[in-house]
Amino acid sequence: ERGVRLAALRRERPMLAAELDRMLAGEARLAERGFLEPGAAAPLAAELPPLTGTRIGVYRLLRPLGRGGMGTVWLAERADGRFDATYAVKLLNLALLDPVGLERFRREGQLLARLAHPNIARLVDAGVTDTGVPYLVLEHVDGIQIDRYCDGARLPPVRRIQLFQQVLAAVAHAHGNLIVHRDLKPSNVLVTAEGAVKLLDFGIARLIEEEGGGSATTLTGSGGHALTPEFAAPEQVSGGAVTTATDVYALGVLLYVLLSGRHPTAEQGQSAAGHLRDLAETEPVRLSAAITDAAARGATAERLRRHYAGDLDNIVARALKKAPQERYPTVTAFGDDLRRFLAHEPVAARPDSLGYRTGKFLRRHRVAAVAAALGVLALAGVALRERELRARAESEARKALAVEEFLISVFDAADPFAPPTANPGEVTVRSLLDRGIERIDTAMADQPDVRADLRAALGRVYSDLGLFAQAETQVRRVLAERLARFGPRRAEVAAAMDQLGGILSQVGKHAEADSLLRAALALRRQGLGNRHDATAESLDHLAELRRQENDFAAAEPLLREALDIRTGLHGARHLSVAQTKNNLALILWSKGDYANAEALYREALAIRVDRLGENHPLTAQTVQNLAQARQQQGHLAEAESLYRRSLDIKRKALGDAHPSTTISMSNLGQLLLQHTPKKAEAESLLRGALALDRQIFGEQHPFVAQDLAQLATVAMRKGDFDEAERLGRQSLAISRALHSGEHINIAFALNSLASVLRLKGASAQAVPLLREAVAQYDTLVGADHRNTLVVAGNLARALRETGETAEAERIFRASFAGLARKQPQDTSLVDGIRVGLGRTLIDVGRPGEALPLLETAFTGLGGRHGPGDLRTTEAALALGEALLALRQLERAAPLVRDAAGRLEAQRETQPVLAAHARGVLRRLERAAGG
């Protein structure tokens, strides 16, 4: 019939017939290869493109590891030599993603990168190649798929269940991050030589499905849901909602295969269509009746049947229920039942009875039970205790189910296959958070504990997104609810206090934050002890508040205690250790100990890159801090590169409207403004940071004050001194309003405003501001701190300009000695002080003493910055003036004329120095004429 129909089509519709011929020929080729048949595999080497040696980003492809409908996987190494490690690079099939999908793919990669669990193969990087091919870079796992590993090692059932619990822990971690795997199967679960489970391809099915694509080696149910037939859940075939229960079913199939050696519904060698039919229609055979290879499990079939009958049968059967709501409500509940089975405790999957509970008790406590048999009251007490435990387990199960239902109600808006809503549009994280807050009171009206936990979690996400006002509102409610429910001395109350205190410290409400954080720390020390993670968390948060208040002496011991706790609990490579090292380094940096701060930053960065990858916001945070340390040590080119790297990561991961991003924008802008000719880029970054910080925090915030001070410098360098002064005074007013007494931010604003006044010729107004700034820095960070010495040099310049040359000389010499000792690597800074001191000596008639200082400064600045740099020009003018005073006119003339010409071209931005240069040039001309 086909031949007749095709012949007719060739006459009637030749183009359609040609297309059908082509497609049928392709089908024949696939049939020859056994496409979609069990055990079929396409020849790998013959079909993969020759990509060996190709560079993808910073990774070089070494050899193919595998292929599938979603793409190919390659073993790779870093091509830049920074780390000696191998990775698995997955090149995704370009046909699976449309242009919109590519952008969503990038965002999804950032979400997946947040999965940090020892049993999950970590996503290191994600991106798109120059040719438009999306790729993922994952931890390379050298292991054996779990079923083959168990059979090869002839593991008994108990060891298989223990290994399987690692899988459950990994999936539970992902569910906690709102990611459903959807493709759990033995080939995605590897076991290393050390016996550690590694789960692969976490979230990839979600990635592809959300783009509306399919896969050449997957079947799809209604709505285009990608699935693997043997491990799909019924709802994936019927087009139902894919939830965490979908993963529970797949895990049930996996456990069934590990324990019995066969699939629960499908026969060996069955077609994909047969799998799907049986999935929908066939009830699984009881585990105890499905054993096919007892020898591989180190026992006889009869012994395994006895071992599986009862509890284990019920546990597996519950995970494999056709209806999602009849399965375990969470992966954790599944794991808890397996743990109870191994411990001979009552399991939730079996109907409760006194005989059942007592039997379990007797098995757990054989010796004790003999003695207990002398009294019936003892058994009655045991039964009561068992009922209490069961009630608690049921309560936890109800809580988990309530949370799952709440999450489904909130996140169904993100399902691209859900029915359209009344308000269509892009689903954002912010919209989902707001949706959750709207529903939490009604959805959790009868579960106050669950409501408080969820509200705290939503507040944490708001805070991480930089939405501090929303975070504060939610966490205040959490604290109020927990205080009303538990009183002031519960661990839950301490956690809420600590969370709220951390948020308040971010928005400048330091007094209330201090009270909350100290109370939380005291409660945690009393209730949990001094060697607990929560105690370390409170120490870290309180130390950060102390740092913001410039109380570095109080902050440092808090952080060192937190570091000792976390290292003792988790070892030296834990993420919490990296967090504390990063914060401790920030204290050392603030105290001017840049070398030791740098060492700690590098240690923290190595941990974060290893555990989180290079493109995580926390990695970017440490990269930025390392940039600051390198900048203060005079390594400006490296600092700029690090700042740019940090900003790029943050923009991709967090977007521009996030406080962490604006910090990087401001820091990079400041560096470019002060040390490079890239003034336009610097201004753009600083103006962008100010606009975003105002949007995030409002007007009264330290970030806004610092942005205004930096923009005052921009206006000053354009010659708009009135605007610069206005911005500088606005910055100072905000800082004084936010910080009572002395504070680094006030000292910074004072120095910034004084710089503007000096340049516009109002040095007499600058002197009192600079005296206050020096005094504050002296009190806060010490007399020999870099900031104190630099601002003291500015005070000396203002004093010289107002005629106070004796005091100016004394301060210049002290600043010079301190900087030469503390900052020998920052030679430009030291040379700047040389110029100021040299000009002072010329003013008091000691040009011979000034000459060697100015010659050294001119040579150093010119060699580093070139003759066109303002610092070099000022040094040239001062050196020419000293030579003129010494009557060395031939040497003085070219220096003075060149400097005067350059400064005349900058008279709008350097009016005072340009006017002085004109006076020196007139003296030179008179001396030459005379």
Catalytic residues: 183
Q: How far is CA 735 from CA 205, 384, 670, 878, in A?
A: 50, 63, 19, 36
Report which secondary-structure segment, H or E, holds 914: helix 911-929
Q: Are the CB atoms for 493 and 483 separated by under 8 Å?
A: yes
Q: Are the CB atoms for 859 and 871 separated by under 8 Å?
A: no
Residues forming a β-bridge with 190: 145, 198
Q: Where are the alpha helices (DSSP H) in 119-243?
A: 146-152, 157-176, 204-210, 234-238
Q: How far apart are the first and last CA of the chain?
A: 117
Tokens in use for 585? 């380094």
Q: In what order do the strands lie in the sheet with 86-92?
A: 55-56, 59-68, 71-78, 86-92, 134-139, 123-128
* DSSP collapsed to 3 states, 405-432: HHHHHHHHHHCCCCCCCCCCCCCCHHHH
Task: Report angle CA 75, 80, 81 to the nearest 5 degrees.
Answer: 85
Task: Report angle CA 908, 910, 914 to the nearest 5 degrees.
Answer: 100
* Secondary structure of residue 154 in the 3-state scheme: coil
Tokens in use for 362? 């007797």
d(CA 787, CA 774): 9
CB neighbour burial string for 728-737, b if at least 16 within 10 angstroms, e if fewer: bebbbebbbe
Hey, how many other C-beta atoms are within 10 angstroms of the C-beta on 23? 10
Instruction: Please give the distance of CA 407 from its chain centroid, rounded to a whole number.
Output: 23
Closest alpha carbon to 251 in 206, 307, 315, 326: 315
Hey, how many other C-beta atoms are within 10 angstroms of the C-beta on 412? 15
Tokens in use for 476? 């205040």
d(CA 357, CA 374): 19
- List, in order, residues 6 or more apart from 659 with CB less than 8 Å away: 466, 506, 693, 696, 697, 703
- List, in order, residues 6 or more apart from 194 with CB less than 8 Å away: none
Closest alpha carbon to 450 in 439, 463, 461: 439
Burial degree of 423 (CB within 10 A; 0-12, 13-18, 19+): exposed
Instruction: Please give the distance of CA 881 from its chain centroid, rounded to a whole number.
Output: 55
d(CA 889, CA 880): 9
